[in-house]
Homo-oligomer: A and B are copies of this chain.
Amino acid sequence: MAVYTRVDENELNAFLADYDLGRATSFSGITEGVENSNYRLSTTEGEFILTLYEKRVNTDDLPFFVDLMAHMADHSITCPQPVADRNGVVLKTLNGRSAAIFTFLNGTSNNSPPAARCYSAGQILARMHRAGADFSGTRANALDHLAWGPLLAQSDKGVVDYGADNLPQDLTARARARLDDTLARWPDDLPRGVIHADLFPDNVLFVGDDVTGVIDFYFACQDFLAYDLAIMMNAWCFEADGSFNVTKSRELVNGYQSERRLSADEINALPILCRGSAMRFFLTRLYDWIHTPKDAQVRPHDPMAYWTRLNFHHNVDSPSAYGIKAPS
């Protein structure tokens, strides 16, 4: 439920005076997104999103994000395109926050996407990886494998209040063992590039099975390209009951490979990359679960959904378990 910073009509009109976007005809806060404040903005010139960056986003990273979105849009990836003011400035200030206007994208998302959408989503990820090849910006992955140990240490508080029950008492000890195992096997020689790093189903918009847009680039960074695919395998291919849908996984990877062929090393690394990406989301969710005040507006995601995924991947020893042909 995200509008943390209010913008009234006078403030909006003063802000819009810098742009060639005509006059506001409609303006309302939208509930999607948890990091920033987002408004749907209609003007006489079109449909836009106004984003105010809240304190969880490092403002030093903002030029990377908006430049990347502009780059992707230039390469026919439908994503929110930053709109510059009359002086060519994209990143502005509004009510004490960094702020930017983006083009609005049609489409709806589905947290339980059908297999056909997994194929389309895999395709768009590979197209983004290709489009990123000539992007000059750089941003290290602040949540890469080296960050996981410290993150776990900060969540090691013993028993944690977990609704009716508590989190398992030995959870962090077991996570530590899983983490040590994953880090010992972590690859160091896979193809790298710009990754989205958070391409969950709610960040891909569709009309029917056609992708109409990719949103939320605020975790984008440089890392292994195949790690981005592993993030999607976790986010797109598990059902609500925790079961792994191998058909969706196959479609996702086939869609990806229709646009960018994975190397044998990348395919062989998928089980360990899936463990790692499950660990990354388990750890950030665990951290948020423990550190979010009880009366916060935004309820943290359940970390245990990712603990289940993590354990699934620790029982996988070949890419064939994901419906992928092992490389010959």
Residues of A within 8 A of B (CB): 1-3, 8-10, 12, 23-32, 40, 42, 104, 106-112, 207-208, 294-295, 297
Residue contact A25 to B295, C-beta cutoff 8 Å: no
- A295 vs B292: C-alpha distance in the bound complex, in angstroms? 13
- A316 vs B92: C-alpha distance in the bound complex, in angstroms? 47
Collect the chain B residues with CB atoms within 8 Å of residue A8's CB. 110-112
User: Known contacts being A28-B40, A30-B30, A31-B31, is A1 close to B107, with CB within 8 Å?
Assistant: no
- A2 vs B2: C-alpha distance in the bound complex, in angstroms? 10
Residue contact A31 to B9, C-beta cutoff 8 Å: no
Query: Which residue on chain B has the smallest CB distance to residue A293?
Result: B295
Of the residues B12, B42, B104, B110, contact of A9 by C-beta under 8 Å? B110
Query: Which residue on chain B has the smallest CB distance to residue A299?
Result: B297
Residue contact B28 to A107, C-beta cutoff 8 Å: no
26 inter-chain pairs at a CB distance below 8 angstroms, sorted by A residue, are: A1-B1, A1-B3, A1-B29, A1-B31, A3-B31, A8-B110, A8-B111, A8-B112, A9-B110, A10-B110, A10-B112, A12-B108, A23-B208, A25-B107, A25-B207, A26-B106, A26-B108, A27-B108, A28-B30, A28-B31, A28-B32, A29-B31, A30-B30, A30-B40, A31-B31, A295-B295
Residue contact B30 to A106, C-beta cutoff 8 Å: no
Closest 4 CB pairs of A and B: A295-B295, A29-B31, A9-B110, A1-B1
